[in-house]
Structures are given as structure tokens and as C-alpha cells.
Amino acid sequence: MAQGDAALAQGYLAAFERLLEKYALRPATPALDTRQIMQRLVKAGAEGIILGCTEIGLLVGPRDAPVSLFDTTYLHARAVADWALADCGITVPNWEGVITSE
């Protein structure tokens, strides 16, 4: 990354931080806020929850929801590993790709 690119990225980050502060979008605890959203989804009838942002799987886990969680970071990493190993003739059995609360 060029020095100018780093400065530009820092400028965008600073602007984003100001927007979060201005509109009070920053939760007190990201994990707590995420758990509350997950509980609302379950109450609304969700049978599974996609953790579609890389950080969400770091904030919450199987104990935080009574439904299956689909961590897209894990799913993508596993798919890449399976693809790479398949070229070598290696298969990895018994993986479901789902994180359950059980």
C-alpha cells in the first residue's frame, strides 16, 4: 500500500467513526448487541442465522442462539481448503459446515 493510500484509508475511517458517533450507531458492546439481534431473529421465527461478516463469528458462538449458525468465514475457508486438498486427492470426511447450539 502506498503512503497516500494509507492516508486516504485513515481519512475514510475517521469519517466513518464520526458518522457512528453523530448518529449514535455505536453499540456499547458489539457482542451484546449482536446477541440481542439474534434473539429477535429467533423470536421472529428464524431457524438458522448466517454470520455474514467476518467479525461476527468472533463475537458470538453456538451458546448465543438456540438455532444453527452459519459462519461464512469458516464456510469459505473450509471450502477453499477442501478445494485445495482435492487437487492432491485428499478428502476430509465428516464436516457439516454448520455450528449448532448442541
**53-62 long-range Cβ contacts below 8 angstroms, 24+ apart:** 55/30, 59/30, 59/31, 59/34, 60/31, 60/34, 60/35, 61/99, 62/99, 62/100, 62/101, 62/102
Q: What's the CATH number where 63 sits?
A: 3.40.50.1860
Alpha-carbon gap, residue 71 to 7, rounded angstroms: 32
Q: Looking at residues 81-91, what average pLDDT do you find?
A: 80
Domain containing 48: what range? 27-86
Does residue 79 fall inside a structural domain? yes
Rounded CA-CA distance 35/16 in Å is 24
Give the model confidence (pLDDT) of 8-46 as tens digits: 677 767 776 776 666 655 555 566 678 888 888 898 899
Looking at residue 66, what is its pLDDT? 92
Q: Tell me, what's the pLDDT at 94?
A: 58
Q: Classify residue 37: in a domain, yes or no.
A: yes
User: 33 CB contacts (<8 Å, ≥6 apart)?
Assistant: 27
> Does any domain span residue 47?
yes
Number of domains in the chain: 1
Residue where the block lists cell 454448520: 98
**Residue 102 binned pLDDT confidence (cut-offs 50, 70, 90):** very low
Give the tens place of pLDDT for each residue, 49-75.
Answer: 998 877 788 888 888 889 999 988 888
